[in-house]
Structure 1
Amino acid sequence: MRFSLLGPLTVHDGRSGRPLDGPKVRILLGVLLLHPNNPVPTDRLQEALWGAHPPATAGASLKNHVARLRQALAEEGGDEPRIRTVPGGYVLRVGTGELDAQDFTAALREARAAYLRKDWATVSQQTEKALGLWRDSPLPELAGLAEVQPSIDQLQEARWQGLEWRMDAELALGRHQGLAPELTGLIAEQPLREAFHRQLMLVLHRTDHQAEALAVFRRLRRTLVDELGIEPGAGVMAAHQEILRPRAAADAAATDDNAADAAAPATDDNGDDDGDHTSTAAGAVGAGLPRDIAFFTGRRREIERLLTLCRVSTFDNAVVPIHAVDGMPGVGKSALAMHVAHQLAPDFPDGQIFLPLHAHTSGRSAVDPADALVTLLLAVGVAPQRIPSGLDARSGMWRAQVAGKRILLLLDDARSTDQVSPLLPGSLSTLVLVTSRRRLLALDGAMPMTLEVLPPDEAAELFVAKSERVELAAGSGSVTELVRLCGYLPLAIHLTAARLRHHRTWTTADLEADLEAAAGRLAALHTEHLSVAAAFDLSYRDLAPALQQFFRRLGLHPGGDIDAYAAAALNDTDLTTTRRLLEDLEDHHLIDEPVRGRYRMHDLIREHARSLATADMPDGSVAQDPALDRLLSYYLHTAHRANRHFTRHQSTSTGAGHNTAPSTRSPELSTEQQARAWFSAEQANLQACVEYAATHGCSDHAIGLPAALHEFLRTQGHWNQARALHQLALETACLTGDRRGQAGALVHLGVFRRLAGECAVAAENLHSALELYRTLGDRLGEANALITLASVEQLTGNHQGAAERALSALELYRALGDPLGQANALDHLGTSQQLTGKYQGAAENLHFALRLYREQGNLLGQANVLTNLAVVQRLTGQYAAALEGHHNALQLYACQGNRAGEVSSIAGIGLVQEATSDYAAATESYRRVLVLYRDMGVPVGEARTLAHLGNIQRLTGSYPAASDTLQQAVAMCRENADRRGEADALNMLGWLLAVSATPAEARACHTQALDIALVISSPLAQAHALEGIGASHAQEGHPDQGETWLEQARAIHRSLARSEDGEPAVHAGR
């Protein structure tokens, strides 16, 4: 069977033509032949047969026409019907060599390949073969049908291209005879097709008709200028120059490859096609990419990934390869896509097209898709007068023009999916790269790549490359700081480097000073025609008014990121609306979502948003903006809700307003895990809010937020941060005369100063707080301050004073009916008793406290008491019970995420291991503890742990190492006023000196330890010092004198019902 559509439709079975009964059957076959072996939807066939409004009976009628066509195409002995029904349509089976259009296209494909390699004999042979199949305009039966016209136009255009190639081949082969009349006829049919004019000019010139050749040029130029307003393209201009050259030079130019070069389209430095705008190469539309960036720097990972994805997807026959590169303004989307396109260009021999869509071009509106299609159709050689008027018609023609061609299309700076979709080819052999500041979420089949700011090392490389300063190194501190100030944003780095490049007397220090100016970073990031602020502003103007307002308000947020709840409070909108606004801003890449549900702005975008917000304020200040007040109140209220899971005792109010619920929803905080997760996520934001509130007159928030954060920061080990926040709260309370706020901040400062070993300052803070609470008549505040003061006095060795403070607090808590406070007081009382050797009383009070904590469901209190009970058990020789108690406490601390408590438990385990001579395990425990204490900034814990490490080194014979470690421990205890720790470390050092130095040196250390132990009333430290002094006398040969000291030590041990000792842990989890 042979089907012919390059002219009137015919069907021949090898013997005779097959009759086709009726025009609708002929139309049906014609449409199916334009899509051989591919499904054609039923609705498309109905539209071809009956137009845009088919009758109600169209479905049944179509089936009848298909049946008649099947009968007409039936073959003797054929097992498979020519037309198959498929879901939603029909497929016409066409074999190899059965359709003239397929043979025509195959011959042109061979001609194109030969044309690119300049095999002119093959070009001539294959174009003659293809053109010989052309009988007349294809399918005149279907003329005027919009549904099929693009496919017919494509065949017509392929014929014109074949004629161009044949003429170029004849010129290259020097076969000029007879070409002039043929070309004149072609020009009459296609007066705007520059290629035919160029070829006629060359034929006339090379056959000694120079004047006629120049006349052809003048007529063409006049036509183009008058009708299209353009000058002839580069190909015509090259031919014109050949005509004007002397004959010898012209002869040289006319030979072989030079003739073909004159036919090739050219591009100017901007990449705009200056060649034949009315011609196409049936797949060779020319290289229309702007020039690549010289010495492209960075983005190695992204380039490799995009190249790989593009090359893989190009061979995927399932979908049209589309790759969408999105990202914030100035991140380098266009540069990356252009660089990748240039590397892929050899894979697309039919051409590359660059089309800027101008979504964010200053002074220009975004390109309308219909106008963009005109540009694309002109680029592939469609004559202007043949371009239809409607968007759908243009889109259909565009798809038909590039069908089957290997073309790369780069659509730059797209505004939306609606702008891009009509421009997408339908051919699987094309590749589409799209860049946009928005996420094109509705672009079906697109593979997205979001471009982030540069990594610091690539940012530094880019700066050095663009500054052209040979003396700079990418790893230098000045370059590192400059790219940080640029936010690692490529546009900002380009502009900053350009300023350095063009001002040779400037230094990196000069630029750094400009960028560090509080309000000058964006102002400094500009050149003559570019600025970062302008790039941001174009994206801002693209937003709806409500989204613009939301963007400005987000710029006011003092912190680094935000969730939907905080954003809702800031914007005074409901949660659903706020989430939609956040997603819209993320789609525009004005914010990003680094972690699910949390959004952030780039530093420079935040600066721009804030400048827009302040511009709306009458005095340029945001301090009184109600949006910020809503935000701070939301954080204060939610922080107090979360803090209920961490509180150790009932808290007295530390500032007005924290019980006022915000107008918007707040997150679910019904469990301790949820509360901890919220605090962890908002920790940096809450600090930023405190700092903002303290400097902008928001005293309630500056005082209340640190109080709400106190327990979380304490248990998580963020002690330096806590001290800084409480100091701000104290300063704010003093400035505003808030005495209750002052007292609360002083208590909280006392806690963290005790943990840092600053016991004298801590005690001073707490005494001041006590005075304030008593003046205010705040008995709960007074009790809480007493408990904290007791823990300070325990550390300084005033164990009797600590017990008295704990008893006083216990009485107040009982009077207030506060069981949690009572448990805290009993825990402190039991610890004081343990430190003075009253182990039985300590155990009783600690067990009572444990029962109260369990009744209250307070896991932190239970863990603390278990730790303290384990200390008593170790000191009384109950090592198995002590180890079990520490492990149980460790589990409780771990499930609460309490780092400080975990460290305390591990230290306790180490002490039991040391007491039972498991020195290897103890060393491992102490080393873990040492790392954690150093990380948390706890010098007291670090010093005591060092002492025990030194003692194990002594016991295992590593005397030099033990000496260094123990001397460091003694020094650190003295620096931090840890008298108990100092006494124990001195005793350990004395034991070492007894075996590594002289008895006198050992006795000096023990004597110092004894003096301290007597002052702090530590019987255990006294006993150890007495033992060391006695041993030193005996070592010197005075056993009787030594026995006197040893008997005193034994007496103390008998009173403690114990003959050996370890060391109590620092109860950081308290």
Structure 2
Amino acid sequence: MSGSADPGGRPDPEAAVDLAGYIEHLNQLRLWAGSPSVRSLAKRVGPLLRPPRAVSHTTVAEVFQTRRRRLDLDLVIAIVRALGADEATVRRWRAAYLRVHRDSKAVGPTAVLRQLPVDLATFIGREKELAALTAGADQDSDTVVISAVEGMAGIGKTQLALHAAHSLVQAGRYADVQLYANLRGFDPDHEPSDPAAILDAFLRQLEVSAAHVPAGLDERAAMFRDRVHGRQALLLLDNAADVDQVRPLLPASPTCLVLITSRRSLAALEGARSVILDVLDPGEAVELLARVVGGERVGAEPEAAERLAELCGGLPLAVSLVAARLRSRPVWTLRYLADRLGKGLNEIAAGSRGLARVFDLSYQGLPAAAQRVFRLLGVHPALDFTAVSVTALAGVDRGEAERILESLQDERLVQQKVPDRYELHDLLCVYAAERAAAELSEQERSEAVTAVFTWYVAAMLAAGRTVNLSQPLPFPAAEPRGHGMRFRDSRQAIAWYDRERPNLLRILSAAAASAHDRVVVLLTLGMIRIEDVARNWRESERLLRAALPHARRCGVPGAEAQVLQRLGFTLWSDNRSDEAIAPLEEALALTSEYDDLVTGQQVLNCLAMAYTGVGDHERGLEVALQALALRDRDEVRLAQRSFNVFNTVAICFHNLGRPAEALTHVISSIDAARAEDDAMYVAMGLHNLGFTYSVLERYAEAVTAFEESVTMARDLGNRYLHADSLNGIARIRHAEGRIPEAQESHRRALAVFDDLPPAEAARYRRQLDVSPLRYPQ
């Protein structure tokens, strides 16, 4: 942010160019006011609102988060007043707020998406190549502008592309959308990134809800082209494997610019202009060394600096590693390091052999504990890692993991592109794997990988339980080593899942390849809990179908039955009841063969819903009653979450036009859920109770049930249940002729989604439109 200020020394909101900048200025205003805590600020803000009301400190804290897409104007103005601004200053903040919101709407509902990694201060030279990249953006074209930066590993392709991208954005170009993806085309331990998965991530960033992302690659590519058409969009595709990987990711609009980096020639890519990158010249290599080490130190030994640059062969990665080594050893002279590199070493020019010697120098200088963690990172199966996951990999505590990773970053052996997440450069990943193969036994490598698998399973199950309780697992998960994950609420658990989802998919793939069948089964059952909450049924189906052969091989009959049961539930949820019946009947046969009554009840419950889904309500009721009868068996009665069968029976009675009988089972469902202390199912049961009472025209009792459901759903964060229950009240008030009250309840229902991104809010409102409680406007 700029240092602009008004005449009183306060940050000037008129300098903000967008909402993120406005929030940055608001943070500066808080700093100017003495950095009051959010708790003390919340106490000041409440009385300044109209009407006055209590405000939580978390609500105030959220206002200062630059990721926000919307702000409550009244709350912002109250905060500005609470920070000591006079009325003239308040008016300026109000006007600036209205301006940045107006400007953000002008570029579309998603505002500006800034996904570019940081532009490094050590960028050096490349004037000709940079001019070629930026000139392409300035030329009029009837098609999308594509530039491919090509060259050997470590040559600086990514840094050049990032610098060009940031230069264009700073010049006011491509201000609508900036997207970045590492395509991992040359990752030795993993397959190149699937274009379908990259498009899934891009569409989610463009605020397409998970449920509306198409299943096929071509459909995703078409939707992506549509979403960026006509927008000033910059797309940076890093480390491309080949033309086929890139082609589906390309937009078609001439308003877009695509920058691609690759070690491989992309000459076959239609319309792409290639920029071939060579090594730095000696002067540029010395200047890069000086930027990291310091000009005085390099200036004191110019000949040694030139020799170091020569030994590094002008390769930016090698120069950076050497410079980082010097910076961390202030007593070393440049000549001393050059002599070390020169002892028996050839010129470090190209190829992993020469680079390995530079890596050796950094590696050998590490403490023993850091060396051990570095070589273990060579077998870590995820794309990136955190200090917490490294506690499992290396069997160290969190503080030690953080210290070691920071020391590795200081030595340029790992890098951070986002806070608290680390990754290895492709070449360093190869080097770490070589060190692991040379210095660790096969048993040590296997134990480390298994520990990572176990940690991810435990973390995923913890997140899944926080978001969406489900039936007991078919077998217990192994106890993880290292720092365990705990989640305070579903919001935190879902945020963790969104960040870790690419890693979880890698873990699944690695576990499947190494025949860790139980890991695949448990990880899948954990992941679908969150995918189901997002109603991402096609992804759940893909995961379950991939897990099914592992469930069959793992030697636990209940595992196969559970995977089949969840597959049937997923197909039914996706309105494919006819397809759901076959896997459910297969699961039922398994539970009968092995006398697994707990899973059998869940299977019967899903099968009843599938029969109702194909219109066979009599058969559905018959099967639901069979499931209900199993509650009399001790092992089922003592198992958790069998109360949902009461609700299924009630649904069947409703479909048969027998609401009085449905009522009895809805009440039983609520009683059972209360006994098992499952607040979410209590809230759902109260919602269903309100619906049943409304069908029976027992309006007062219906309103009471809906009101209790509204309160619980709001506290639990279940937006749809909250809004649908409000609409239930609205329908009843409408039926009673109390139209103003009905309209107010319906208005409150719609307002539940006001703070969501527009696309997500629209998805929820579409669901309300097909609900049986839809308000009769």
TM-score, structure 1 normalization: 0.39
Contact 2:571 2:577 in 1 (8 A): yes
> Counterparts of 1:147-162 in structure 2 under 5 Å?
none
Equivalent residue in structure 1 for 2:430, among 611, 614, 622: 611
- In structure 2, the partner of 1:635 is 456
Partners of 2:660 and 2:696 within 8 A in 1: no
Q: Structure 1: how far apart are the matches of 2:719 and 2:568?
A: 20
Asked if the contact 1:870/1:882 (under 8 Å) is kept, the reply is yes
Whether the 8 Å contact between 2:541 and 2:567 is mirrored in structure 1 is: yes
Instruction: Confirm or deny that 1:569 pairs with 2:392.
Output: yes
What is the aligned counterpart of 1:592 among 404, 416, 422? Answer: 416
The alpha-carbon deviation at position 706 of structure 1 amounts to 1.4
Write the distance in 1 (CA, Å) between the matches of 2:127 and 2:751: 43
- Partner SS state of residue 626, structure 1: helix
Q: Which amino acid aligns with 1:582?
A: L
The amino acid that maps onto 2:131 is K
1:642-657 equivalence runs, <5 A: 642-645=463-466, 648=469, 650-653=471-474
CA distance in 2, matches of 1:453, 1:898: 36
User: Residue type matched to 1:528 in 2?
Assistant: V
Q: Return the offset for 1:947.
A: 8.7
CA-based RMSD of the aligned residues comes to: 5.1
Query: Which residue in 1 is equivalent to 2:547?
Result: 729
The 5-angstrom pairing of residues 439-478 of structure 1 reads: 453-454=118-119, 465-467=130-132, 470-472=135-137, 477=144
- Which residue pairs with 2:512 in the alignment? 694
- 1:234-253 to 2 correspondence within 5 Å? none
1:771 corresponding residue in structure 2: 589
1:871 CA drift (Å): 0.9
After superposition, what is the alpha-carbon deviation per residue over 1:292-317, rounded to whole angstroms, capped at 9, x for unaligned?
A: xxxxxxxxx6xx67x99xxx9xxxxx
Partner of 1:866: 686
Contact 1:614 1:621 in 2 (8 A): no
User: What amino acid is aligned across from residue 466 of structure 1 in structure 2?
Assistant: A
Name the amino acid aligned to 2:427: H
Aligned equivalents of 1:725, 1:463: Cα separation in 2: 48
Identity %, equivalent residues: 19
Aligned to 1:864, the other structure's residue is in SS state: helix
Query: Residue in 2 aligned with 1:830?
Result: 650
Are residue 875 (structure 1) and residue 695 (structure 2) matched? Answer: yes
Query: Which of 600, 608, 617 is the matching residue for 1:782?
Result: 600
* 2:526 matched residue in structure 1: 708
Whether the aligned pair in 1 keeps the contact of 2:710 and 2:721 (CA below 8 Å) is yes
Per chain length, whose mean CA-contact separation is higher, i.e. which structure has more relative contact order (CA < 8 Å, sep 6+)? 2
> Is contact 1:570-1:628 (8 Å) kept?
yes
Q: Report the alpha carbon displacement of residue 828 of structure 1 after superposing the two structures with TM.
A: 1.6
Q: 1:550 deviation in Å?
A: 2.5
Give the letter aligned to residue 631 of structure 1.
Answer: V
**AA in 1 matched with 2:453:** L
Give 1:738 deviation, angstroms.
6.3
Alignment partner of 1:490 is 2:308: no
CA contact (8 A) 2:588 2:603 kept: yes
Structure 1 pair 491–879 and aligned structure 2 pair: CA distance change class (3 A): same
SS in 2 for 1:667: coil
Q: Does 1:528 align with 2:279?
A: yes
In structure 1, how many angstroms separate the alpha carbons of the residues matched to 2:734 and 2:442?
Answer: 60
Describe the shift of the 1:593–1:496 C-alpha distance in structure 2 as closer, same or farther (beyond 3 A). Answer: closer
Question: What are the residue-to-residue correspondences of 1:430-441 with 2, within 5 Å?
Answer: none
* 8 Å CA contact 2:727, 2:745 repeated in 1: no
CA contact (8 A) 2:617 2:652 kept: yes
Q: How much has 1:630 moved relative to structure 2?
A: 0.8
CA positional deviation for 1:705: 0.7
Alpha-carbon distance change, 491 to 740 in structure 1, aligned in 2, over 3 angstroms: same
Change (3 A) 1:787 1:510: closer
Mapping of residues 240-279 of structure 1, within 5 Å: none
CA distance in 2, matches of 1:754, 1:467: 54
State the 1:536 CA deviation.
6.3
Q: Using a 3 Å threshold, how does the CA distance of structure 1 residues 818 and 790 change in structure 2: closer, same or farther?
A: farther
1:846 is matched with which residue: 654, 658, 666? 666
Q: Distance in 1 between matches of 2:575 and 2:700?
A: 31
1:756·1:939 contact (CA, 8 Å) conserved in 2? no
Q: Deviations over 1:493-535 (max 9, x none)?
A: 57999xxxxxxxxxx99996659889x9568896234445535
| Equivalence map 1:371-410=2 (5 Å) | none
**Contact map agreement 1:786 1:809 (CA 8 A) in 2:** yes
Match of 1:889 among 709, 715, 723: 709
Which amino acid in 2 is paired with 1:651? P
* CA distance in 1 between partners of 2:482 and 2:684 (Å): 37
Aligned twin of 2:331: none
1:927, distance to aligned residue in structure 2 (A): 9.8
Cα displacement (A) at 1:762 = 1.9
Letter in 2 for 1:630: A
Query: In structure 2, what residue type is equivalent to 1:534?
Result: A
3-state SS of 1:542 partner: helix
- Aligned equivalents of 1:938 and 1:696: distance in 2? 43
Q: Distance in 2 between matches of 1:592 and 1:647?
A: 32
C-alpha displacement of 1:849: 1.9
- Indicate if the aligned counterparts of 2:624 and 2:648 stay in contact, CA closer than 8 A: yes
List gaps (5 residues or longer) in structure 1: 1-300, 313-450, 498-507, 956-1070
The 2-side partners of 1:719 and 1:901 are apart by: 19
Q: 1:585 to 1:951 in 2, by over 3 A?
A: same
Distance apart, 1:591 and its partner CA: 3.5
Report the counterpart of residue 663 of structure 1 in structure 2. 481
Alpha-carbon offset, residue 569 of structure 1: 0.4
Q: Give the Å deviation of 1:633.
A: 0.7
What is the deviation of 1:701? 1.3
Q: Aligned match of 2:618 in 800, 817, 826? A: 800
CA deviation vs aligned residue, 1:389-420 (integer Å, no higher than 9, x gap) = xxxxxxxxxxxxxxxxxxxxxxxxxxxxxxxx
Q: Is the contact between residue 717 and residue 900 of structure 1 (CA under 8 Å) also seen in structure 2?
A: no
- The alpha carbon displacement at 1:868 in A equals 1.0
Deviations 1:780-821 (A, max 9, x none): 111111112223333333332222222211222320233644
Taking a change above 3 Å as real, the CA distance of residues 494 and 699 of structure 1, as seen in their structure-2 partners, is same
State how far apart, in whole Å, the 1-side matches of 2:709 and 2:609 are.
Answer: 20
Q: Do 2:118 and 2:417's aligned partners in 1 also have CA atoms closer than 8 Å?
A: no
Give distance in 2, aligned partners of 1:889 and 1:949: 14
**Matched residue SS, 2:118:** coil
Match of 2:677 among 857, 866, 874: 857
**Partners in 1 of 2:128 and 2:552 — Cα distance?**
48
Find the aligned partners of 2:578 and 2:397 in 1 and give their Cα distance.
Answer: 50
- Find 1:550's aligned residue among 361, 373, 397: 373
CA contact (8 A) 1:463 1:493 kept: no
Distance 1:858 1:511, change over 3 A: closer
Larger radius of gyration: 1
- Equivalent positions of 1:987-1006 (< 5 A) are none
* Distance verdict in 2 for CA 1:510–1:537, change over 3 Å: closer
Q: Give the stretch that moved more between structures: 487-496 or 804-813.
A: 487-496
The answer to whether the Cα contact below 8 Å between 1:703 and 1:729 also exists between their aligned partners in 2 is yes
Partner amino acid, structure 2, of 1:467:
A
